Chain A
Amino acid sequence: MLCNECQELISEYIDGAVELGEQVKVERHLADCEPCRAVRDDLLQIVHFSHQLPEHAPATALWPRIREGVAELQPRFWSRWWGGLRTLNFNLSVPQLVAGAAALVIVISIGIIVTQRDSPASVDSGVQQTNLVPLSNVDVQQLEKQISKLSQSVEERKTSWDPELRTAFERNLYYIDQSLAECRHQLKDNPADDVSQELMLNAYREKVRLLEGFEKF
């Protein structure tokens, strides 16, 4: 899966609305792609904060007023814009046209360069961003090593599994990874949050338990 494909699905993935096969593809991609993980964490942050926002019901009279305002504004805006355009004098000399075209080319080139630099396609070229949550804890590092080793072993065996067993494994792995992502996100907001630290360590242990449990199959 490419970065743009992953990021197209990431919002639905967070909502738990993607199909299992796609979940697995997204998970695999996220496991190897730091920038996409950053996008996922940003979206999780937005979801998290939006849940904390108080709900305000608009006044009943508000919508008719908005509708009326939009209806009044639209013709005026377009007529003013079109009128302004028509009054412009487009009598330009050849050097002026060449300079204008050159400026346009420069602006477009800069735009393309900036977009390409920021786009996830550069991920595959090996650019690595710094980790959002510094996992300096020795326990976590050891658990991550153990997980990486176990994951490799499980991946090799998985092809020979019964489809039902494979589905159960992938579903449960997805749940754990979702919890880990949520813990990371909460720790990003508040690195001193003891409960999130504890829950994250515990989720890592749970992932080890899952992988060890399925490694024997």
Chain B
Amino acid sequence: MVWRRKTTKYLMRPVISTLLFLAVLAISANSSARFERTYSPRGPAHLSISNVNGSIHVVGWDRRTILARADASPSITIEDQALGDDITIWTRRNLSLGHANFEVSVPPETSLAIKNVIGKIELQNITGHVSVNSFDSDVHLVGIDSPSVDVRVTSGDIFFDGLLHEGGSYNLQSMRGDLDVSLPSASPFNLNARALSENINLGSFLSNLTGSSRGPKGVSGTYLRGGPRLTLTAYAGRILLHKK
């Protein structure tokens, strides 16, 4: 009887240990890896983020440092490189797609180059150059006061609320999604809007557009004295221009 009890006791130990080990393994498999870095550029920095799947949110703040944080699947490795004021962050993955969600705070004058495949992109309060290159993403640009903005997505809506600089270039393009642009009513620009869907709504900007050519698929012209080049291209989606 005593022998039996002892045997059971000895057998239970490895079983419990194995179960505990498996539980820890399961928890760690579900948990996400964290990435956090602080960079201290000496001048206006150039930040590139290259992601595959997940959201990217970059906001301008009043500090001189760049703080980049990300939550990522265990299958994702986040790497970075800082060469002077050029900072590059990118994701590596194994066979599984995984995800990485970025939250980044930057000095407003930082130039941004954002690449993604799937996932929402939000940029707020940025005054540096902006370039967004993605495939399956909604792109929100709010409080943008940049000398140039270039956004290309294959599918997804693009929302722009900001200011245009004299001599600046602003290109927004989506193959499958709406372009929604809000500008101050006193903001001059040269417009070139193209929509294969023949759905272009320039609101009250239209009445003050001079030297314009207007067709169902394309409108171009000068608003007020002109200057910044605003190029809007949509295919299966609308172009909407609002006055702020």
Contacts and interface: CB of A to CB of B under 8 A. Distances in A.
Interface in B117-156: 117-118, 133, 135-136, 152, 154-155
Interface string A186-217: 10000001011011001100100110011001
A203 B194 contact: no
A48 to B, nearest CB: 10
Interface stretch (A57-65, A87-95, A150-158, A176-184): A176-184
Contact of B154 (A165, A176, A217): A176
B120 to A, nearest CB: 14
Interface in A113-172: 160, 162, 164-165, 168-169, 171-172
Given A175-B175, A199-B233, A165 B217 contact: no
B135 A172 contact: yes
A30 B96 CA distance: 31
Nearest to A182: B196
B203 interface: no
A209 B96 CA distance: 23
Contacts of A179: 175, 196, 235-236
Contacts of B194: 195, 198-199
Interface in B36-56: 52-53
B26 interface: no
Contact of A171 (B97, B155, B217): B155
A172 B236 contact: no
Given A162-B97, A178-B236, A168 B136 contact: yes
Instruction: Bin the interface of chain B by size.
Output: 20 to 34
B69 interface: no
B227 interface: no
B154 A206 contact: yes
B72 to A, nearest CB: 15
A195 B218 contact: yes
A182 B197 CA distance: 9
B95 interface: yes
A210 B97 contact: no
A209 B52 CA distance: 15
B196 A172 contact: no
Contacts of A168: 117-118, 135-136
Nearest to A206: B175
**Chain A CB within 10 Å, residue with most, of B53, B97, B215:** B97
B136 A199 contact: no
Given A175-B236, A176-B175, 4 more contacts: A169-B135, A176-B154, A193-B217, A214-B117
Interface of A: 160, 162, 164-165, 168-169, 171-172, 175-176, 178-179, 182-183, 186, 193, 195-196, 198-199, 202-203, 206, 209-210, 213-214, 217
Interface of B: 52-53, 95-97, 117-118, 133, 135-136, 152, 154-155, 173, 175-176, 194, 196, 215, 217-218, 233, 235-236
30 contacts: A162-B95, A165-B53, A168-B117, A168-B118, A168-B135, A171-B155, A172-B136, A172-B155, A172-B176, A175-B155, A175-B176, A175-B236, A179-B175, A179-B235, A179-B236, A183-B196, A193-B217, A195-B217, A195-B218, A196-B217, A199-B196, A199-B235, A202-B233, A206-B154, A206-B173, A209-B152, A209-B154, A210-B135, A213-B117, A214-B117
Q: What 3 A-B pairs have minimum CB-CB distances, sorted nearest first?
A: A162-B97, A179-B235, A195-B218
